[in-house]
Amino acid sequence: MGEPIQVHDLAVSFAGAQRPYVEQVVEECRKLSLSVLYDRDLNVELWGRNLIVGFRRIYGGKRARYVAPFLSHAYLSTPYPMDELRTMLVPALDNPDEYILPVIVGDVTVPEEFLSSAVGFLKVEDFTPQELARAFRRRIPDSGSAPLTETAARSESTEQVLRTPRTTPESFSRYAELDSSFRYLTEQFKRAAPRMSESGLVCTVRNSESELRVRVERRGRVLYGIDIHVGGMGRDDVLNFVVGTRLYGGDRSNGTATPVFDRTTGTPRLEMHDQSVFGNRPGTWSLSKEQLFEVLWNHIVDQVQQLADGL
């Protein structure tokens, strides 16, 4: 017989962009004796198994008494989180008011079939991780391995959750984050470049202290090029992107990324002003440096694949 499956007080579901904030919430919940099911605690349990099936079991009503989806634009556009949301809707049919505790991230409209407009929710912008953890602790009855004393229970049931100001840390430096992001992109492109050879392509990466040049060739023909400069367009606090097949420098720009501090997640981010780097209509995106590299690399792969197929 296998070991009995622990039923947790809470399971959290989120898109990768919200991980820094959610991870802090999980830590604070555990300090309050809440038992929380968090994906990184399941690495060994799900090792070698079908992740989709595994997570469906987690959010299907048998592994946690409550689930908290952190609903953001990224959540609603990513397959894994949406599968988790659809899964948790099944047990919610039998107990609609006592299973899903939705948390809204940013200015997002959740389709009615996933979250009724009549359902109450909390907004990330209104709570620090500590405050949200306390809200979970009060909302989930008889939670935690250590029950509250009568006095503590009475206090918890009547105490208000008071907001505190969210400010940018004094230690935050836009230029330090700029340098860190540039170094990260340089390292990741150098690590990823050899992968292009698997498709019969050559990817070269050259860099100086303030410039990164990436070229993808096939039979000596440049299929894609991107230059990333520290500073540009009259500013010294941005990453400037120039894309094309023939790049000769100059004062050009297909987009810029400015380091900012996201007070919602409590982490540095890059505010990407995209003119044509990603090939989309102009827009503004908030990305971590890890997300920025992933988006850049995937776009390069898509572009090169289309061009290579045409040769």
pLDDT digits (tens, 9 = 90+) for 29-71: 999 999 999 988 888 877 877 777 878 888 887 788 899 999 9
CB burial of 298-308 (b: ≥16 within 10 Å; e: otherwise) equals ebbbebbeebb
Q: Is residue 29 within a helix (H) or strand (E), and if so which, with residue range? A: helix 19-31
Higher pLDDT, 74 or 163: 74
Q: Where are the domains of the chain?
A: 8-158, 174-309
Residue 170 pLDDT class (50, 70, 90 cuts): confident
Digit-coded pLDDT (tens) for 26-40: 999 999 999 999 988
Task: Identify which has the larger pLDDT, 184 or 106.
Answer: 184
162 against 288, higher pLDDT: 288
Instruction: Give me the pLDDT at residue 251, please.
Output: 67
pLDDT at 98 over 90: no
The amino acid occupying position 35 is S
Q: CB atoms < 10 A from the CB of 55, how many?
A: 21
Which has the closest alpha carbon to 304: 185, 162, 197, 186? 197
SS3 15: coil
Confidence of residue 155 (pLDDT cuts 50, 70, 90): very low
Looking at the domain 8-158, which fold is it? Rossmann fold (3.40.50)
Q: Phi, psi at residue 268, to the nearest 5°? A: -70, 145
Q: How far apart are alpha carbons 54 and 8 in whole angstroms? A: 16
Measure the CA angle with vertex 290, ends 308 and 255; round to 5°.
65
Q: What is the mean pLDDT of residues 263-274?
A: 83
pLDDT of the residue at 206: 95
CB burial of 101-111 (b: ≥16 within 10 Å; e: otherwise) equals: bbbbbbeeebe
- Distance CA(27)–CA(240), nearest Å, equals 37
**pLDDT for res 23:** 92
Selection from 43, 37, 39, 41 nearest residue 16 by Cα: 39
**pLDDT above 90: percentage of residues in the chain:** 39
**What is the pLDDT at residue 157?**
45
Sheet holding 221-232, edge to edge: 202-207, 211-218, 221-232, 235-244, 255-262, 267-274, 283-287
Alpha-carbon distances of 61 from 29, 107, 209, 234, rounded to whole Å: 20, 28, 53, 55
pTM for the whole structure = 0.55
Task: For residues 100 and 66, give the distance between their C-alpha atoms in angstroms, rounded to a whole number.
Answer: 6
Q: Give the confidence band of 161 by pLDDT, cuts at 50, 70, 90.
A: low
For every residue of 157-173, DSSP letters joined together read: HH-----------TT--
Whether the per-residue pLDDT at 152 is higher than 50: the answer is no
